[in-house]
Amino acid sequence: MRIAIASDHAAIDLRQQLIAHLERSGHQVDDLGCDEGQRVDYPDYAGAAAGAVLAGGADKAVLLCGTGIGMSIAANKVVGIRAALVHDVTTARLAGEHNAANVLCIGARVVGPLVAAECLDAWLGAAFDPRHQRRLDKVAAME
């Protein structure tokens, strides 16, 4: 799977660790930044990753910031994006199964690297349950 990943300055270390984890798992990773030593604005990176998913350059995206909240708010402003902020394996798995989340958001100050990697694996391995499609259609109608 092709995964776009981006972070702000608060989550550079976690981003690097998750890139290595994804590559070891056989995924193709597009690192959209940010670079070390920069203080950046998370909406710029959320928009770039969401755009990659919508344009078909990535199958899914991972967004990281201090809490994950800012990235999830920004990504969900993009029509067609379903970004889920997760803190554990259960919410990550259900983001895929129930919500067909195409973007996963994690807070580097909230979730450690081991749990973050487990969340990624759970989300990427989750199959959408079609019984939830009616709800997704209602959400899409709100866009």
Q: Which of the residues are catalytic?
A: 65, 98
Give phi and psi for 14, each to the nearest 5: -65, -40
Q: How far is CA 11 from CA 16, 68, 77, 107, in A?
A: 9, 9, 21, 8
Q: Rounded to the nearest 5°, which phi and psi values hold at 62?
A: -120, 130
